[in-house]
Chain A
Amino acid sequence: MQSNPITAAFDRARAARRRALVPFLMSGYPTREGFRAALAEAATLADVIEVGVPFSDPLADGPVIQAAAAQALKQATTLAQTLEDIAAYRLEPQASARGQAPEPTATPSLTLRAQDGFTPPVVLMLSINQVLAGGAQNFAQRLKAAQVAGAIVPDLPHEEAGSLNAEFAAHGLALLNMLAPTTSPERTRAIAQSARGFLYLISSAGVTGTRDTFPSETLAYIKRAKELSGAPVCVGFGISKPEHVRQLADADGFIVGSAIIKAQSEGRNIADVLQPLRQAL
């Protein structure tokens, strides 16, 4: 089996003695051009990039990501368009944004330069209904063709994931497992041990959106997941500032979603959010 690019990206971060940064971007948000520019910008600071394909009824998302999905859908953002944009980015991370939008204004410490030729792999985030719409096999083939490394399907729990997992394995893709603080010990074991790519830890009960602090149990929960997991462990839901990264220091990586979307909605540079986090890693 070839090594998945996600694993390679985590190895690279570990070799540099830091934890991984996984920004979340919404395809088609704020516009298609804006998304392409955001991909290019995120590529300068990310280890893996998570791209949401907007869905009409996202159950696990809070108001910020819901609004972004609604705006992207209003502009008729599709899976096909998302994959086209990702394929273009994979070929030439910086060029994909040029000519589409004004260059994002860089902070002084940031230049739009690829990280020594490293292009962060992309994973999709979408609903199982978007997968089923064209069928699991077709979905896997299209991801493979666009050089997407895998997918997160938050409404597809472990018990229902068998056939999509088989399809993904046949195409060298990673279907990322998720754990929640409410997951029982037996299911935690099964989910962590079968993790591919990285194991996605939902930080605390609730939908996506920024949280001020995390309960003390979160630390023990991360430790337990790390002991059992066959893959790096990343924490998401509510990560927005360096204090969070320091508080949850045991994780192998951090997923940042709503904080980025919020910055975009305020017309701020996403590096404003990512740069301080990257420095805390």
Chain B
Amino acid sequence: MTTTAPGRFGVYGGRYVPETLMANLIALEAAFEDARRDAAFLAEFQSTLAHFVGRPTPLYHAQRLSQVYGGQVYLKREDLTHTGAHKINNAVGQALLAKRLGKRRIVAETGAGQHGVATAAACARLGLECIVYMGALDCERQRPNVERMRLLGATVKPCDAGSRNLKVAINEAIRDWIANPDSTHYLIGSVVGPHPYPLMVREFQRVIGDEARAQFTRVAPRPDAVIACVGGGSNAMGIFAGFVDDPQVELFGVEAGGDGATTAATLNTGRPGVLHGALSYLLQDAEGQVLNTHSVAAGLDYPGVGPEHSFFKDTGRARYETVSDTEALAAFKETCALEGIIPAIESSHAVAFARRLLANRPGLRVIVNLSGRGDKDLPGLLAKGLV
């Protein structure tokens, strides 16, 4: 097991939050531990995944990409889920849990907008009030998702402070929760935040890895490598969870290398610190001030990372690489042209790394987690002439 002390992955994780939130986190942990052992809850979760989310998603052999890249590339098609990204797995899980806790109001943050849309959909279905915080920069570059959230009945609150991206959206969501601790559940969108979030979100996302592992056995007992992009790290941790105990399977997390000058490559260039309630790698200066990030992908544009990834980095169980904006855009276009699939710009980072890995080690059989679809990116990328 990867949890070494309650709420810790090695030294990472923990619960570094203002006192007002402690009672909620303790109650949430108890409710989650109770729910994951409750057959009725699990049955409702499974049924929601099957009938609302559309699981299982295919494991698709991308033959033309395989040919061009020089290996065997299998895409785990999270882009085919309802609302178009893996985020929905966690959103429906936590929404069910919030209902169990008697909460009527949900707050969430979103970067790319996929988690916001997923949360809005999950809340509409259960009749829960939904407020989504989103950086003003991300509202601009992921406009289609802002409109989708509104249609689904959510209130979108643009955050204009500082970096105007995912980090400030999380700040505002946490502040909202501090002001409304009784009525509200904070439905966090990645394996970040204070305990029990990193553990809980991983468990709601592990369906990706469990399915992929079973599906791959039709091809061979195990893939050589599993590749996923890492923003906060939830799609990566979800697919890694299926393979972590298979030592012959290499795990690769792909961070945003940005434009080279400014990145969001937390595990590659950060050092341990505390942001948003957990100890983990962090992009920060010598004073402990959190640094600004840049990535073409709003969902990867975050200076922190889930604590279990920090643990995997230190133990060597997973390796973390970077892919630049330019490489990701090239992989985006290749996936469109060669496979007829428009991937999210986040997921394109994972595809780009598959290209590099197979160039160095031809013939490997790799699974790439195609975490989401790219419709949301088109207006922004087209307007900038990037695709």
Report if A127 contacts B (CB, 8 A).
yes
Measured in the bound complex, the distance between the Cα atoms of B174 and A160 in whole Å is 19
CB of B289 within 8 A of CB of A157, answer: no
CB contact under 8 A between A133 and B287, given known A70-B162, A154-B19: yes
> What sequence of 0s and 1s flags, for each residue 47-76 of chain A, a beta carbon within 8 Å of any chain B beta carbon?
000000001110110100010001001000
Judge whether A79 is part of the interface by a CB distance below 8 angstroms: yes
Interface stretch among B68-76, B175-183, B232-240?
Answer: B175-183
Return the contact of A155 from the options B17, B167, B180 (Cβ within 8 A).
B17
Given A59-B171, A133-B286, A205-B178, residue A155 in contact with residue B274 (CB < 8 A): yes
Q: Does B16 contact A (CB under 8 A)?
A: yes
* CA of A128 to CA of B174, assembled, Å: 17
Q: Which residue of B lies closest to A201 (CB)?
A: B19
* List of B residues within 8 angstroms of A116 by Cβ: none
A13 at the interface (CB under 8 A from B): no
Chain A residues closer than 8 Å to B135, beta-carbon distance: none
Residues of A with C-beta under 8 A to B19 = 154, 157, 178-180, 182-183, 191, 202
With contacts A182-B20, A184-B23 known, what are 11 further pairs, Cβ within 8 A? A60-B175, A129-B273, A129-B284, A132-B273, A155-B16, A157-B15, A157-B16, A157-B17, A160-B16, A178-B19, A205-B179
**Does the CB pair A160–B15 fall under 8 Å?**
yes
A130 within 8 Å of B (CB atoms): yes
- Among residues of A, the one whose C-beta sits closest to the C-beta of B163 is A56
Q: Are the CB atoms of B178 and A207 closer together than 8 Å?
A: yes
Contacts of A212 in B (CB 8 A): none
Q: Which of A73, A131, A187 contacts B22 (CB 8 A)?
A: A187
A199-222 vs B, CB cutoff 8 Å, 1 = contact: the mask equals 000100111000000000000000
Q: State how many angstroms separate the Cβ of B210 from the closest Cβ of chain A.
A: 32
Number of interface residues of B (CB under 8 A): 37
Q: Is B282 interfacial (CB 8 A cutoff)?
A: yes
Q: Is the CB of A180 within 8 A of B20?
A: yes
A57, A59, A131: the one contacting B18 at CB < 8 Å is: A59
List chain A positions with a Cβ less than 8 A from chain B: 55-57, 59-60, 62, 66, 70, 73, 78-79, 127-133, 154-157, 159-160, 178-184, 187, 191, 202, 205-207
Interface residues of B in 176-221 (CB under 8 A from A): 178-182
Give bound CA distance, A131 to B161, whole Å: 24
- B275 sits at the interface (CB 8 A): yes
CB atoms of B178 and A57 under 8 A apart: no
B158 in the interface (beta carbon within 8 A): no
Residues in B whose Cβ lies below 8 Å from that of A131? 288
Q: Indicate if B57 sits at the interface (CB-CB under 8 A).
A: no
Return B237 CB to nearest CB of chain A, in Å. Answer: 23
Query: Which 3 residue pairs across A and B have the least CB separation, nearest first?
Result: A133-B288, A180-B20, A206-B179
Chain B residues with CB under 8 A of A60? 18, 20, 175, 178
Known: A184-B23, A205-B181. A127 touches B18 (CB 8 A): no
